[in-house]
Structure 1
Amino acid sequence: MTTQNDPPSALPMPLLQAAAKGACPRCSASTIFAGPVRFASSCRQCGLDYEQFNVGDGPAAFLTLIVGAVIVTLALVLELKVHPPLWLHVLLWTPLIVLAVMGSLRLAKGALLILEYRNKAREGRIMDKSDA
């Protein structure tokens, strides 16, 4: 499904693939992110304004809890089976937590922005029958 502003050849790529690539929801260029998890203000290729979308901080808290539960479970299993020294736990789990949270946060934020664009979700806007 394309919108009025989409080029005629632009077919939406699968959501998780687009989010992992950081693809603009309009032109599919890899322009959503200006940093590891910071959005760019607009697409450098087609000019889509990313600031109109409100992804918020929900993914950060949710993903931190999920990743934390997985890491704690893995750390407990390792401790009960192998009994490594404490310094090994610190060296192993600290970078793994950071990488897992940052990677999943980038994916979740990208997916939410793309979904907002595809579903024409706008904050504080009431749609009437002519908008549908």
Structure 2
Amino acid sequence: MGNARRGPIPDELGWLMDMLEDHSERLRTLEAPSGEQLANSVATLRSLVENIQAQLADFIANDIGALVTAAVTSALTGNIAIGGSLTVAGAVTTPGSLTVGGTVTMPGARATDLSAAPNRVNAWLAGDGRLGRT
């Protein structure tokens, strides 16, 4: 063992270097986190993540939801005008009248069972799926 600038280390100092290295290793071992400390760190991190997730969920549910609701409500206020075709994939529910100024096409209407429908009226169904009332 030696130092290039100073030459070989004297034997009298070798034991001191060995002892310092041993003490350094002991300090690293003593200062390392214990299993309990590591477990506490994991629990602390878990609670922090859960708190952040709860705040994010609340923000998404309330703040972003309110912004989207306000934007949609503003856009749909008043009459809705559709300048082209409208395709509805499901039921249409309206609390008032629904007026259509063009042809209504219902491709599956011939398979609809109206035998249990109250207040039925006479209507016609064309071969191309158009529906009308006389």
Does the TM-score normalized on the shorter chain lie above 0.5? no
**TM-score using structure 2 length:** 0.25
More strand by share: 2
Bigger CA radius of gyration: 2
Q: Comparing both chains, which one has the higher relative contact order based on Cα–Cα distances under 8 Å and sequence gaps of 6 or more?
A: 1
